[in-house]
Structures are given as C-alpha cells and as structure tokens.
Structure 1
Amino acid sequence: MADDPNSMAIRQGVTDRLTALAPDRAVSVVDLGCGGGEVLGRLAEAGFRDLTGLGWRVSVPAGAARIEEVDLSRAGWAQEMVGRRFDVVVSTEVLEHLVNPYQFLVEARQLLDPDGWLVLTFPNVHNWRSIVGYALAGRFTGFFGPNWAEGHPLHDQHIFIPNHHLVRYFLGLTGFDRVTFSYLYGRSRLSGRTTMVTCRAARQ
C-alpha cells in the first residue's frame, strides 16, 4: 500500500475503527493479505500489540507475528490456522482482486472468535467517478484495465466489482451481521474513494 492520500486514509480509517471497537487496544488482530504491513504498522503505532500479518509474502512491524505462503484465493486456507482465533480480522484492498470473494469471507469467518469483528476495505464503485466511468467506457473506474492478466489466482487488476448490496448479501451468507458501510477519502457514498465495511460474527 503506497503513501498516496487514499492509502493513508485507509490506514487511518482502519485504525480509528479498531480504536473505537477496542479503546484499550487489548484485542488480537490479523491482517489478511497485509502486503508490506503498512496497516499493521499504523496499528502498532496506535498501541495495538497482538498483531499478525498473513498472506503469500508479507512484511510486519517489529513484534508482530507473520504467517506466509498462504494463498488467499484457494479454498481451505483457514484450516492452516486451526488453533488460533482472533478478535478482529482486517483485510484492506483484497476482496476486489479475488475470483471467489464469497469463499474468502467463508475462510475469514473461521478465524474469528465468537462475537469477533471483520473490517474490510475495497474500492467504492458507487461514487460518481465510477458511475461516470461506467457510463462512458462500459466499466467501473479501476476495474478490468490494460494490465488485466488471465489465469492469475490473485489478479493484479481489480476483477470482482464490490457492489454494496452483493457484499452485504455475501456477508449474511457467510455468518456476519451488524453490517455497516462507511467511506474513506471522501465523506459519502458519492464522494468516497474507498468503502469500509464493519460487521460482527453472527451468533451460531
């Protein structure tokens, strides 16, 4: 994740949300597809200590745990985490890269403690830029661009269009409730560059 204004807004937005959920910072957090560990680094700066980064190749801040060689596009990867559950699962800018986001949410749900929280971010396709882009070019801004590569399990390009209604439906199917949508780098659905979703593991 770069240091452009949108990326910085994502890091701060996730940190603010977790601070609101756990003011004492006494929660365990796993970041799925954490990449360079920028979100974890910001959480560490804010005082969170029980941090884990998970993905194929990841970097994490000092003191955080690291779990590598996990293919988030493959069904069953959460079984590799048996024996460890988390209070909060975070995943920023991953969902839109997946062929099967539903399966990803199934796996993420398995990592949560009862009453745990999931925090997701992904591009907001409901903002005016995407609406205009779709009207003029037949595709949402930032999706299916010139770098589109066929056959890659975790595509560099954005391939899943995270319509809010569909994401909410998938979350309900995979065992989440109390779903809320908010917006980063812009204050509303029409202006926000990024969508942040917060939801809780539904009681079984």
Structure 2
Amino acid sequence: MEQLGREAAYTTPRPDVFALVPPTARRVLDVGCSNGALGASLRRAQPGRQVWGVELDPQFAAQAQQQLDAVLCADVSDMDWAQAFPGEQFDCIVLADVLEHLPNPAATLAALRARLQPDGCVVLSLPNIRHLSALYAIYLNGRFPQRDRGIFDRTHLRWYTLADAHAMLASQQLEVRQASYALRLGDQGGGRLNRWLNRLPPAVKRLAPVRELLTYQFCLQAVPRNVA
C-alpha cells in the first residue's frame, strides 16, 4: 500500500467518528489508528473498554502503543487478519479515512467482516467525490487536482460517493444504521459559512441536494443485516 502521508493522517479524537461508536462496544479495533488519539478517547469514555490498533507508520504506531491496549505496526493491505488476531472478535471496527488509500478496499472490508461480532458494527469515514468542489475542479475547470489532504489527497487510490459506500457495505451484508455529514461549501474548511452549514437541522442535512453535493466527508455506522 502506498504510504499514507503523515500530514494527511488524522491526529485528533475525531468526534464525528467517536459519535458513531456504540457505548456498549467493549472491544474496538481501530484500523489505521494514527497516533491513537481517537482510540484513547474511546478508552476514556468507557472504563474497561479495550481498543486495539493497526497502523502503518512506525512513529504513529509507537505513539499509539502508549495509549491503546495493543497496536500492530503493519500494512493493512497485506495483512492476514486471521493470523494477526487469531480467534479475536470485535464489537466495533473503525476505518476512519482508510479505505480510499487501499488497492483492494473490498477485500480488506471482507476480511474485517469476519472479525466482527454478530451484533457488532463497522464505523467508517470517507471523503465524498460528489462534492461541489470536485464537480467544479473536474467538470468546469477540467482538472483533477493533486493535494496533500482532503478529497484530492494525492495518496488516494479510490474515490467514493455516498451510494458507492452503501454498495460496498451491502456487498458484505452490512447495512447502514446511522450516518453523519460534514458539510462545506468549498474545498477549504473553517469559516462562518461552513459553521452555519453544519448547524443546519439533521433533517435538512439529509435532503438529497445538501447530502449529496455539500457533504465533504461522511461517516457511516453499519451493522450486519440480520440485526439492522
């Protein structure tokens, strides 16, 4: 797998992802755990909760090791998950900004699905290639930018719309139960207008034009279909 640039990795507790991890999840696997900030916040939130991590970058893995129950420094795309976690099953598996960096994300998701408890869930976040900034760059400006982070992060190998993400999860018999949408008017975050957008009522955020074209990044919680 191409090395995920350190400047592109998340190094914060990621409240958007945190919010979709069920309080009842006692064993959590954070795939691509970066420096362990998210996993550490998950551990603090529920005494007795175990959080394991997998991270490619050795420096991040060393930092995460200080905060999580166990961290494996490995390339996600080359892992034998059954050998890495023999007999282990998790209540929640987190893939925060990971799948878009993998050469075969469906195969990785399938391998992780086998490590999920029958009543567990998968929480993932992905950038939305259908965002207005992508439409402007590609269809109006005629360019496919290469940037250090965001939708056009140069280390991305795959691009997803919301429908693509739903279809990928459905291929593993997973059904979306919860979703959140981080809205932006353009490629840059921050600013008064973006803050205003994200204060819109959830019902407005779910309206198709808003959800599909103004969502810069979406987070999904998916469960096995028999428990959805």
Do the structures match in fold with TM over 0.5?
yes
1:137 corresponds in structure 2 to 142
TM-score, length basis structure 1: 0.76
Query: Larger Cα Rg: Structure 1 or Structure 2?
Result: 2
Q: Which runs of 5+ in 2 are unaligned?
A: 1-5, 185-197, 199-204, 206-210
CA displacement, residues 45-66 of structure 1 (integer Å, 9 cap, x when unaligned): 4336311111333232656222
Deviation at 1:40, TM superposition (A): 1.0
Residue 125 (structure 2) pairs with residue 121 (structure 1): yes
Tell me, yes or no, if the aligned pair for 2:130 and 2:161 is still in contact at 8 Å.
yes
1:11 corresponds in structure 2 to 14
Residue 154 (structure 2) pairs with residue 160 (structure 1): no
1:36 corresponds in structure 2 to 35
Residue 194 (structure 2) pairs with residue 195 (structure 1): no
Percent identity between the aligned chains?
24
- Give 1 or 2: higher helix fraction: 2
Q: Which runs of 5+ in 1 are unaligned?
A: 148-154
Deviation at 1:96, TM superposition (A): 0.9
Give the one of 105, 111, 114 matched to 1:107: 111
2:45 corresponds in structure 1 to 46
Q: How many residues align?
A: 187
TM-score, length basis structure 2: 0.69
Tell me, yes or no, if the aligned pair for 1:88 and 1:119 is still in contact at 8 Å.
yes
1:173 corresponds in structure 2 to 171
Change (3 A) 1:26 1:157: closer
Cα-Cα RMSD: 3.1
> Distance in 2 between the 1:201 and 1:116 partners?
7
Classify the secondary structure of the residue corresponding to 1:159.
Answer: coil
One-letter amino acid of the counterpart of residue 133, structure 2 = R
